[in-house]
Each structure stands twice: as structure tokens, then as C-alpha cells.
Structure 1
Amino acid sequence: MANPTRWETDTGPEHSQWYIDRFRKLVAEGADLAGEARLVDALVAPGSRILDAGSGTGRVGAALAERGHTVVGVDADPALVEAARADYPGPTWLVADLAELDLPALGEAEPFDAAVLAGNVLAFVAVGTEPEVLRRVAAHLRPDGVLTVGFGTERGYPLTAFDADAVAAGLRVEQRFATWDLRPWRDDAPFAVSVLRRPSD
């Protein structure tokens, strides 16, 4: 990786294991962790090919796979990818930096119908790489493919910058919501869920 991610620089060495343990505990308690997956599933045809970008412990990608989609998950943290492979066999889980994403080089040459960046992924990529992350993810979508992105609006990446970076990446902003369960967007919302599309023309 050219630059360390904020996941590395802004957290301690024990953070990855804490994160893994946290979500395993939530699963054991029966928590609903599939909200993002339900939205993505509603945006695509059955049996779609979906990229879980910044897949973490695999909860979103696993829920999409359970709904019949072919899922490739990518995360820069090897510990999280190892946990995803252990807990959710089925999807393909790969270690890669989203700012350098080149899935054909990793044996995944087929484009994706959709991609999702959940869990504040853009708040944890390396500083200043947000435009390149969006460009790289967009490049893996087929024409008319959809990208759904969620992140906190107070995490240092203004929505105006995000929108401009999305357009520069060849994406069109189609919808914005305040939550993954589609509550209406408002300018003071602490979280934004944006639905973007790679135009086919």
C-alpha cells in the first residue's frame, strides 16, 4: 500500500481484534446486521455480481450472498479478511487497498452489477485517497452498475467533495437518504447514504 489507511493510523494494534469480537458478539446476540444488504438487494436483479468494498468482517457481503448474489469482498486489513473467510465461507474475500484496487490482477476480471461501501469505509481510507477509491470502485462496475455508499457527514469528508469526486469518477448521484432504511435526506443529517450509478451512455 502506498499510504497507510486511517484504519491503521487512527486506531491501536488491538483494534482489529476488538472489531472482530464485537461483530461476532452481535451475531451471537441475534442483532440485525443486514440493513445495508437489504437496500443493495433491492437495487439489483436476482443473482447479481456484487463488490463489497471495504468488507470488514464480511457481514454485508455474507447477507448479500445469502440472498443469492455472487459476492467478492475486499478489505485492506488481513485480520478482518481472515475473520470473514472463517465466519462466512462462500463469498470470495480478498486483501487489497481500495485506493489501488485492481481485481483483474487478483483473478476477478468480470465487472460487477453493483458495489457497496458500508460502515464508514470512506472515513478509514488513506487521507486524500477518497477520489481514487471512488474512481477505482467505479471502474469495476459494468455500465449502468450501481454503487451505494454510506458514511458519517461529520467525519472529515464533506458531501460537496464526495459529490464532486463521484462525478469525476464517472458516476451520477441518483438518490440520497439519511439512513440505510431510506429515511428522507435532510441537510443536518449525521449520516448520508448515496446511491450512485455508472451511466451506460
Structure 2
Amino acid sequence: MSDHASWAEIVAEDPKHSQRYVDRFRTLAAEGADLDGEARLVDALLPRGSRVLDAGCGPGRVGGALHRVGHVVTGVDGDPVLVAAARTDHPGPTWLVGDLTTLDLGTTFDGIVCAGNVITFVAPDRRRDALARLLAHLEPPGRLAIGFGDHRGYGFAEFRADAAATGWAEDLLLATWDLRPWTPQSDFLVAVLRPA
């Protein structure tokens, strides 16, 4: 397996990976760690009560935080272990098992968040599919906030080209979820995108 395997490949090789991931965030929450940075940025982009898609929701920390401040959240993740943890730890949102590359929820959202390096865990030949399916779920003039590190096997230039090719335009590029400006030397990208 490569250093930059998809989530499905990682779990296939190590079936306990998902539970360790859940446990890690439960421990951080119990220790009082600030786990809401991504949610704060997304909350600032939207009016309260907005419909938000948490794409690649994992165990629900971002969508759970957005729900607690008044948004109507639907979270989708391909890993049933993570979705089960989201349902247990963050009641209120709708948590679904689903594939971002074929996602068809039959509805649109005012905003979408894709945090936690999620896009880098999509198989490289399916990333454009995921970006296109996210766009299909966004109600204009909504925006997508998506973030990942450059050490994950998905270069920022490649991502930006994929986003443009699938109908996204860039509103804002940041180096962190706490609004630090992005530069070509940044090792993390938070892209706030809108339909082109």
C-alpha cells in the first residue's frame, strides 16, 4: 500500500483503524481540546439555521459543533464505524453512510464542509467525481470549505485544477482554519469555493 492510500485501503489493511480514530477524538474531547475550528469558520460563512452538508463527516465533530450553534446538518461518510460514532456522540444531525464520489441525496445545501483531509482519502482517480458530486449538492450562492495538508499525496495545484475542471471557483484560500492567509509556501490549504 502507498503512503497515500484511500481510507478504504487503510481500513482493509487495518480493520481497527476506524475505531482508533474514533477513540482519538473522544479522548481529545474529554481532555478539553478545541475541536471546533473548522466549524467556527463554516458558521461564519452562513446565516444561522442554514442547511449544511458535512462531507466526510467522520465521527461527527464538525457537524456536531455546527448543529449545536443552530444549523441543520447532514453528515455523510463512507465508513460505517465513524458514522455510528457520530450518531452516538453527536445526536441531532442526520448521519448517513455514503460514498462522496457517487453521492445523490436528492437535496441541496446552503453550505458544505469537507474537513480533516477527507479529499485526500478519496482514490486519486475519483477525486474529480467527489468534487462534482459536492457541487451538485450546493444551493447557490452557497460555498464549500475544504481543507487538507500538502503531505497527503494531493498537491494543491492539482486540487485547484481539479476544482476548476469540475465547476468550482475560488473565493478565498487560507493556510489554516483560523484565517491565516495562504501562500505558495503553505503546507495546508483551506479553500473556500463557490460554483463558477
TM-score interval, smaller chain: over 0.9
**Structure 2 counterpart of 1:145, from 137, 142, 146:** 142
1:163 and 2:160 aligned: yes
Query: Which residue is 2:49 aligned to?
Result: 47
Q: TM-score, normalised by structure 1?
A: 0.91
Moved more, 158-167 or 174-183: 158-167
User: For residue 140 of structure 1, what is the amino acid of its counterpart?
Assistant: H
Identical columns (%): 57
> What runs of 5+ residues in structure 1 fail to find an aligned partner?
none
Inter-partner Cα distance in structure 2 for 1:198 and 1:37: 21
Distance in 1 separating the partners of 2:168 and 2:140: 10
Distance 1:169 1:144 in 2: 17
Alignment of structure 1 residues 33-182 onto 2, 5 Å: 33-104=35-106, 109=107, 111-182=108-179
Amino acid at match of 1:59: R
Shift of 1:173: 0.6
DSSP 3-state at the match of 1:41: helix
In the alignment, residue 197 of structure 1 is paired with which amino acid? R
User: Could you tell which deviates more after superposition, 163-172 or 147-156?
Assistant: 163-172
Show the counterpart of 2:10. 10
* Structure 1 runs, 4 residues or longer, greater than 4 Å off: none
Instruction: Identify unmatched segments of 5+ residues in structure 2.
Output: none
Q: Could you tell me the TM-score, scaled by structure 2's length?
A: 0.94
Contact (CA 8 Å) 1:37, 1:63: kept in 2 or not? Answer: yes
Give, as a single letter, the amino acid of the residue that structure 1 aligns with 2:187: P
Q: Give the 3-state SS of the residue equivalent to 1:47 in structure 2.
A: coil
One-letter identity of the residue aligned with 2:195: R
